[in-house]
Structure 1
Amino acid sequence: MKKNNDFFVPYIEGSLGASTKKTLKTFTIVTFLVVIVGALVFSFSQKPFKNSTFELTSATKITGVFHENPYPMLRVEVEKNNYKNILLLGFGKSSANPFLDKLITEVGSLDGKNISIEGNLIYYNGKTLIQITDDEKVILEDGSNSQIPSKEVISEMTLQGEIIDPKCYFGVMKPGKGKIHRSCAVRCISGGIPPVLATSDNNNISEYYLLTDLNGNPINEAVLPFIGKPSEIKGIVERQEDWYILKIDPKDIKVSGLKSTIY
């Protein structure tokens, strides 16, 4: 009778046959290699993180001059005669307006007034935003009304790029690519977060433009169908210190049909 060397009895030491040992060894090595190769392929196929920052776990207090047109901002002097306009956002997928209403009810218009805000900073590529999480942290400071930044008309331009949600794009989500993140951007902008056009030059982002209607008013609802879709947009460009503004008629948005490089 032929001896069966592969008959395994768990409680008898050394009963595992040579053939079974070889099979298990081969299976273990192959499985290990597949896992390693799969991990490397998955890793290298991911879009790299941006060097953007969202200070979710720390609060920063900033003081400056409030101005609300076209969207709420705080003009902060970062050094002598050098100003940065910080875009104000609410918590979650909300504009800053609900967090400003209490103070506006108490003192009236905040335009040109010195106020302090404590919140979570978001910054990337020269732009700074702050997320307000508590209306009690929006405080009117002493002092007379101050100068709000004026707008300089540049020219009429036709620009190419994608409409983005600046909150997630500038730091909350990174890299934030895919249909799920595009859907998130739609919800953020529909919630009142200002829409921004990120213009592209050879697939590299070159500049950012806050979008308004032709009268300089918020335009959130009208641009929802175009978020994350490479487009050509004609409008009037203005500059408000370190921010550009693009005043448009949504009818002038032409979707190119190209694949999004952002979402």
Structure 2
Amino acid sequence: MENKKDEFYVGYNNNVPKQTGRLLKKTVWIFLFVIIIFVVVFSYNQNPFNNGSFELTKESKVTGVYHESPYPMLRVQLGKNTYKNILLLGFGKFGAKKYINELEETDKDILNKEMTIDGNLIYYNGKTLLQISDEQNIIVHKDKQGKDIPLQIVDEYTLEGEIVDPKCYFGVMKPGKGKIHRSCAVRCISGGIPPVFASTDVNNVTSYFLITDMDGNPVNKEVLPYVGQPARIRGLVEKYSDSWFRIKIDANAIELLNKKSTIY
């Protein structure tokens, strides 16, 4: 009769046979190695978090002079001859203009009036945005009149970059990049959130341009086919008193580039 020495392992027995123990250890180590390689490769291929911040659970009171050029903004004085323009946004995937329209039904002319707004602040690369959840969070100080916002003409430029929605991209979503965020950006811009052109120069410095038509009016639906796709635009660039830029373009002249998106 053949003498078989195959091990027989009983689950409720604490003593694991040697051969079975060695096989289990080898299998575990191989499994751990595969998991580590998968995690490293998966992490390497993910978009990094940006330095944006969204104060979702914190409401801040911000006081400044309201203007539209052409998108709703609040010009806040930080010090003597020092101002910051805060881009106003609505709740969810909507712009702030719907709240302003409701406000104008009672307060009529609110341009260049001082306002105090309760909302959630968004910070990114020196830019500040404010999400308004309700028109009731806006107080108009009718007796305080501000001045028109100064805009400095820079020059006419041809830029390459991508159209993004500043809400998700600047900090509400992290990282706010990737293919799934492109459809989100389209919905945000179609809902009235100002389109922004992100353009990175040879020194890897990214500048942000609020996009308008040639007359300085809002463009939302006109740019939807180009959102999140590498493109070339040309137009007159103007600078606000801080780091925001505005570019006046002909949306029909936007040129799509045969490049892979670096954002979406």
- TM interval, shorter chain, is over 0.9
Partner of 1:253: 254
- SS in structure 2 at match of 1:39: helix
Q: What is the root-mean-square deviation of aligned Cα atoms in Å?
A: 1.7
Give the residue type in structure 2 aligned to 1:140. V
Aligned residues: 262
Alignment of 1:53-64 (within 5 A): 53-64=53-64
Comparing 231-240 and 81-90, the one that deviates more: 231-240
Partner of 1:120: 120
Name the residue aligned to 2:95: 95
Contact persistence 1:93–1:188 (CA under 8 A): yes
Contact 2:170/2:176 (8 A) holds in 1: no
| Deviation sequence 1:191-218 (CA, Å, 0-9, x none) | 1000011112138343111101111111
Find the aligned partners of 1:172 and 1:76 in 2 and give their Cα distance: 22
Whether the 8 Å CA contact 1:197–1:208 is kept in 2: the answer is yes
**Displacement after TM superposition at 1:241 (Å):** 1.8
The amino acid across from 1:174 in the alignment is K
Task: For residues 127-149 of structure 1, give each alpha carbon's deviation from its aligned partner in whole angstroms, at most 9, with x where no partner exists.
Answer: 11000012211111253321121
Residues 13-38 of structure 1, C-alpha deviation per residue, up to 9 Å, x if partnerless?
54x43322221111111112221222
Contact 1:66 / 1:148 at 8 angstroms: preserved in 2?
no
Q: What corresponds to 1:158 in structure 2?
A: 158
AA of the residue aligned to 1:173: M
> What's the offset of the Cα at 1:45?
2.8
Query: How big is the shift at 1:240?
Result: 2.5
Deviation at 1:259, TM superposition (A): 1.1
Q: What is aligned with 1:35? A: 35
Report if aligned partners of 2:70, 2:218 keep a CA contact under 8 Å in 1. Answer: yes
Mapped pair 1:143 → 2:143: yes
Does the 8 Å contact 2:7/2:17 carry over to 1? yes
Quick one: distance in 1 between partners of 2:103 and 2:12? 78
User: Aligned with 2:251: secondary structure?
Assistant: strand
CA distance in 1, matches of 2:10, 2:236: 83
Q: TM-score, normalised by structure 2?
A: 0.93
TM-score with structure 1 setting the length: 0.93
Q: d(CA) in 1 for partners of 2:62 and 2:192?
A: 22
- What is the rounded CA distance, in whole Å, between the counterparts of 2:13 and 2:213 in structure 1? 83
Q: What's 2:49 paired with?
A: 49
Residue type matched to 1:70 in 2?
Answer: P
Q: Distance in 2 between matches of 1:221 and 1:101?
A: 19
Shift of 1:163: 0.8
Aligned to 2:81: 81
The 1:191/1:4 distance shift into structure 2, 3 A limit, reads same
Q: Work out the CA distance in 2 between the residues paired with 1:13 and 1:93.
A: 59
Equivalence for 2:178: 178
- Any idea what SS the aligned residue of 2:252 has? strand
Structure 2 vs 1, CA of residues 206 and 13 (structure 1 numbering), >3 Å: closer, same or farther?
closer
Structure 2 counterpart of 1:259, one-letter code: K
- Large movers: runs of 4+ above 3 Å: 10-14
Distance 1:214 1:8, change over 3 A: same
> 2-side partners of 1:250 and 1:71: how far apart?
17
CA separation in 2, counterparts of 1:101 and 1:222? Answer: 22
Contiguous gaps of at least 5 residues in structure 1: none
Alpha-carbon distance in 1 for matches of 2:205, 2:194: 18
Match of 1:8 in 2: 9
- The separation in 2 between residues aligned to 1:193 and 1:10, in whole angstroms, is 62
Give CA deviations for 1:220-254 in whole Å, capped at 9, x if unaligned.
00111111111111111122322211111112211
